[in-house]
């Protein structure tokens, strides 16, 4: 009925399928399937608290230790320190929470609610250790005008210590117009000083308060954050580089293949770890994140929006587009969380999207680039230059190359987007859409493009940076739907308004091998 030409492809497919089956480990047929069924388990309190701590900002393990030996702790002993003996270490379920990852801080202004995200130990400021707390409110300017205090719990103390909040910094400045109006959410960084008598101890938990009256605070502090202190067991290798990626809003848009290419490229460039935050992502993108987390190259965290904002994964990107620029301040939440989680893990942090690549023009990777930069700096500059700037160029999507040209031409696979797109814009003006290597010993607040605050001897938090020469490094931005000016949108004449830049081709062989291997592992059907 069917001729051989029609049946042949089906026979080939059947043969391949049979071969896969023959290579698959055979499970002996048995009436007893108990060995393959999941076992019934139940976590004890300690295991439950450990899991809770990993999934939240709650000091669950500290509470568990307190519950076991709280009254065996040291009595209060410094006369010039104020202790709040009436304020109790509360169970995690008693904390006022909002949208999974936020805690509610009530203020004297009934119209204002502050949402606390995370707290971090920071001892970089010339022997003056502090706890930094990232918060968000929709009334950003007034929050700086409120007098704040903090309660600090230490591992060996019976009662919490009352200390002052010395600084409340609105990360998105008022003079940028949008982002500080009522109804627009944006982040702050609180600085709670650790009293000198306890400067050699690390607080385990913190609570933000609007009163220094212990009785007024009451027995329940309301909010209680775990203090994060990610000190590695081993000292990070010299020039360790971490990447902080803006939170994913990819619930309705899949770029999983490009994500694999990007991850393999930054690995080639010398990144040690990549940090992701996820509002929403497709199943395939989550497959990629899970795979690289298992390999130890990626760390990712769930994220929600505070307050009365939308928290439906498929609506995040739509909501972002509806708000326009008014959403931008909230992007600084995860970026500064990433900074403070990693100030002791890496020497440098890079803030990037997954369509951006800092491309060395002559050297092989970022380590060689940083070595070259710092070898030419004076000792004074090495102490104060907090960031190194890469100038920006857009890569045009409409012009595509499908072959690597040379002595032996090679096809460029579709899964290598960066290799196929080699026409870019001229460099943008200095300071426009730049991306930086941030020094973690000096930067104390970041924006998408540059640091907002730095640690220096002036006390004015100003940042001093260094511009990388464009013939040493360029930020290549492979932005979707980016096109040249109207008079250049002709495939016949792509050169007119663009630069033909094949710098990335130096990495073709290595990148192609790594990406193909990973794609086969991640997406191969499991039989």
Report the alpha-carbon distance of residue 491 to residue 213 in Å, rounded.
71
pLDDT for position 77: 80
Residue 346, token pair as written in the block:
């890496």
* Residues of the chain falling short of pLDDT 70: 1-30, 70-72, 177-181, 457-460, 487-495, 526-527
Residue 5 is predicted with a pLDDT of: 56
3-state secondary structure 71-112: HHCECCCCCCCEECCCCCCCCHHHCCEECCCEEEEECCCCCC
Q: Is 138 helix (H, G, I), strand (E, B) or coil?
A: coil
At the top level of CATH, the class of 241-523 is alpha beta
Distance CA 443, CA 453 (A): 6
136-193 tens-digit pLDDT: 998 877 788 899 999 999 998 989 999 999 999 999 887 776 555 677 899 999 999 9
3-class SS at 22?
helix
pLDDT digits (tens, 9 = 90+) for 205-247: 999 999 999 999 999 999 999 999 998 877 777 789 999 999 9
Please write the tens of the pLDDT for every residue from 308-358. 999 999 999 999 999 888 889 999 999 999 999 999 999 999 999 999 999
What is the dihedral sign for C-alpha 313, 318, 319, 321?
Answer: positive
Q: Are 172 and 328 in contact (CB under 8 A)?
A: yes
User: Positive or negative, the Cα torsion across 440, 442, 444, 449?
Assistant: negative
Distance CA 350, CA 489 (A): 33
pTM of the model: 0.90
Output the six-digit token pair for 461. Answer: 């938090």
- Parallel, antiparallel or unpaired: strands 149-153 and 161-170: antiparallel
- State the pLDDT at residue 324: 85
In this predicted structure, what is the pLDDT of residue 181?
66
The pLDDT of residue 214: 96
Phi, psi of 144 (to 5 degrees): -70, -20
Spans of all domains in the chain: 49-228, 241-523
């Amino acid at each position: 009925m069917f001729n051989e030409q029609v049946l042949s492809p089906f026979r080939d497919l059947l043969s391949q399928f049979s071969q896969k089956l023959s290579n698959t480990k055979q499970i002996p047929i048995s009436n007893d399937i108990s060995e393959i069924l999941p076992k019934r388990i139940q976590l004890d309190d300690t295991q439950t608290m450990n899991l809770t701590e990993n999934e939240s900002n709650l000091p669950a393990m500290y509470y568990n230790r307190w519950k076991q030996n709280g009254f065996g702790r040291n009595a209060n002993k410094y006369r010039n320190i104020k202790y709040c003996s009436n304020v109790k270490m509360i169970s995690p379920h008693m904390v006022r929470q909002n949208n999974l990852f936020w805690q509610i801080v009530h203020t004297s202004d009934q119209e204002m609610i502050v949402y606390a995200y995370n707290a971090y130990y920071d001892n970089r400021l010339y022997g003056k250790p502090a706890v930094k707390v990232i918060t968000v409110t929709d009334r950003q300017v007034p929050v700086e005008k409120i007098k704040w205090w903090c309660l600090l719990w230490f591992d060996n103390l019976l009662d919490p210590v009352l200390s002052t909040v010395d600084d409340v910094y609105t990360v998105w400045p008022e003079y940028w117009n949008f982002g500080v109006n009522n109804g627009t959410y944006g982040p702050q960084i609180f600085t709670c000083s650790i009293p000198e008598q306890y400067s050699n101890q690390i607080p385990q938990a913190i609570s933000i308060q609007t009163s220094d009256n212990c009785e007024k605070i009451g027995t329940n502090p309301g909010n209680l954050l775990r203090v994060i202190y990610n000190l590695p067991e081993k000292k990070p290798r010299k020039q360790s580089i971490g990447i902080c990626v803006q939170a994913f809003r990819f619930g309705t848009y899949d770029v999983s293949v490009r994500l694999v290419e990007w991850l393999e490229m930054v690995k080639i460039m010398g990144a040690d770890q990549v940090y992701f935050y996820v509002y929403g992502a497709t199943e395939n993108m989550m497959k990629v994140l899970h795979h690289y987390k298992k390999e130890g190259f990626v760390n990712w965290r769930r994220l929600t929006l505070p307050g009365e904002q939308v928290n439906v994964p498929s609506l995040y990107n739509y909501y972002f587009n509806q708000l326009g620029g008014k959403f931008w301040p909230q992007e600084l939440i995860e970026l500064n969380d990433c900074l403070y989680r990693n100030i002791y893990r890496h020497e440098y942090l890079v803030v990037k999207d997954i369509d951006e690549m800092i491309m060395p023009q002559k050297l092989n990777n970022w380590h060689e680039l940083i070595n070259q930069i710092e070898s030419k700096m004076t000792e004074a500059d090495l102490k104060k230059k907090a960031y190194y700037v890469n100038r920006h160029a857009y890569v045009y999507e409409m012009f595509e190359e499908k072959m690597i040209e040379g002595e032996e031409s090679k096809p460029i696979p579709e899964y290598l987007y960066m290799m196929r797109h080699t026409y870019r814009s001229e460099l943008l003006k200095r300071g426009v859409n730049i991306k930086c290597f941030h020094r973690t010993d000096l930067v104390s607040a970041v924006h998408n493009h540059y640091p907002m605050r730095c640690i220096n001897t002036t006390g004015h938090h100003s940042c001093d940076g260094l511009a990388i020469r464009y013939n040493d490094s360029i930020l290549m931005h492979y932005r979707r739907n980016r096109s040249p000016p109207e008079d250049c949108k002709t495939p016949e004449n792509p050169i007119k308004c663009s630069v033909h830049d094949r710098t990335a081709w130096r990495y073709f062989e290595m990148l192609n091998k790594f990406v193909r291997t990973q794609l086969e592992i991640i997406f191969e059907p499991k039989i």
